[in-house]
Amino acid sequence: MSTNSNNTTSNSSNRGKRKRQYLTTAHNNLKWQPKRGGPGVLVTCDTGRDGKAKREGLEILEYYLEKQATKTSSKEETKNEESKSEKDDKKLSLEEELAELKESANDNSNSNSNDNDKKKSKRKNVKKPFAHYDTGCKGNVMILCMLPNPNLIPSINTTNNSNSKPETETEDPPIEDGKEQSEDKNKKAKTSPTKEEEEKGEAADATTVSASQTTSSNTANANPPWDPLATVRQVMTDIQDETTKNIPGSRFIRRMIPLQATCFASLEEIKLTFRSILDHLVLPNLPNDKKDVTFAIHFKKRNCGHLTRDQVIHEIGNQVDQATGEGWKVNLAQPDIRIQIEICKTLCGMAVLQASQCDNLLAKYNFNVTDLRTQAREQQQGTQDQTTNQDDK
């Protein structure tokens, strides 16, 4: 009997340890989720291929980000060389030459001393430019940009954000039956404000809301470090081009949908985010001579029961009418502007594509990378067959 009791106690203790470990790991996973708001790319794949699609998506985005960085660095080097050549053309005195030699010697010594410190700091604080956001939807991988100041639009501040509670928020612990009434009375007595305090609180809330609106309008990044639309365009043009080589493969990726901004999946935040995209990214770039602008809304949601398709489309249409004065018309076949809205559980991402050659490429294939690759291979094989036939003749 004693051995059986010991075994049962040990099994129960092991179960408790496993449960605690599971809860801590789940809490840590939620705590390390990247913040909403910045741009990103939604990668779709077959169910069960999420991990491989995530790896391929991160590799592709990091490759094109490095490619962009090398282009900018080469431009800066050419500018520096031109400025140096202009300085060399000018004649310097002996004192100026000695001062330049001393500065170069000091810079070399400081650079050698700082190289080791930089290497150590990089090993400790390695921040990747992109991070995976766990949406909880199978076959959908959300990758968000983690670079400093990545937002293409100002940050959105909502006043009544009761629906957008963080997932890691915990409830208050339960109270015993005998202590509930006494504690509730004490709380009401302590927290019941007077009329004067309520008026002061309302005035303070109004000032904070106006201040947040003014500050949020000034936080738009004029030169963002990364543009998802340009990256996905470059990916698809490189796939279509036969001469480009050494591109990371996308064997398990079906679609790469660029998203200019992300937010919580609520009508209020969707409305504010879309209006900010219109005001900062779309309307300033439209030509003044353009009349009778047409648009189409492409909407898709996954594992989201608190929003409906009609609600979101109706709200987006109202914002378009308010921003343009009912000047835009709906055209689902060939629109001038395509509004893309993707909802994955509690995360919403959106983008606005204007009619151009590259955007038509994206809209034609519906961001489908696999179809574009198969078509490019068929065209390449057809050209090879034609050349062989001509050689035989």
Higher-confidence residue of 274 and 23: namely 274
- Tell me, what's the pLDDT at 141? 97
Taking 90 as the threshold, does the pLDDT of residue 312 lie above it? Answer: yes
Taking 50 as the threshold, does the pLDDT of residue 206 lie above it? Answer: no
Mean pLDDT on 308-324: 95
- Tell me, what's the pLDDT at 358? 72
Mean pLDDT on 113-121: 56
Taking 90 as the threshold, does the pLDDT of residue 79 lie above it? Answer: no
- Tell me, what's the pLDDT at 367? 94
For the chain, the average pLDDT equals 77
- Tell me, what's the pLDDT at 98? 74
Q: Which of 179-193, 231-245, 249-263, 292-306 has the lowest mean pLDDT?
A: 179-193
Higher-confidence residue of 347 and 199: namely 347
pTM above 0.85, yes or no: no
45-74 pLDDT, tens per residue?
Answer: 999 999 999 999 999 999 999 998 888 776
pLDDT band at 376 (very low <50, low <70, confident <90, very high): confident
- Tell me, what's the pLDDT at 114? 59
- Tell me, what's the pLDDT at 84? 58
- Tell me, what's the pLDDT at 384? 72
138-182 pLDDT, tens per residue?
Answer: 999 999 999 999 999 998 877 544 444 444 333 344 444 444 444
Mean pLDDT on 269-279: 96
327-351 pLDDT, tens per residue?
Answer: 899 999 889 999 999 999 999 999 9
pLDDT band at 43 (very low <50, low <70, confident <90, very high): very high
By CB neighbour count within 10 A (0-12 exposed, 13-18 middle, 19+ buried), where does 89 fall? Answer: exposed
214-225 pLDDT, tens per residue?
Answer: 333 445 667 889
Taking 50 as the threshold, does the pLDDT of residue 248 lie above it? Answer: yes
Q: What are the boundaries of each domain within the chain?
A: 261-378
Place of tokens 């202590």: 179
In SS3 terms, the chain reads as CHHHHHHHHHHHHHHHHHHHHHHHHHHHHHHCCCCCCCCEEEEECCCCCHHHHHHHHHHHHHHHHHHHHHHHHHHHHHHHHHHHHHHHHCCCCHHHHHHHHHHHHHHHHHHHHHHHHHHHHHHHCCCCCEEEECCCCCCEEEEEECCCCCCCCCCCCCCCCCCCCCCCCCCCCCCCHHHHHHHHHHHHHHHCCCHHHHHHHHHHHHHHHHHHHHHHHCCCCCCCCCCHHHHHHHHHHHHHCCCCCCCCCCCCCCEEEEECEEEECCHHHHHHHHHHHHHHHHHHHCCCCCCCCEEEEEEEEECCCCCCHHHHHHHHHHHHHHHHCCCCEECCCCCCEEEEEEEECCEEEEEEEECCHHHHHHHHHCCEHHHHHHHHHHHHHHHHHHHHHHHHC
261-378 CATH: 3.30.2300.10
Mean pLDDT on 238-267: 89
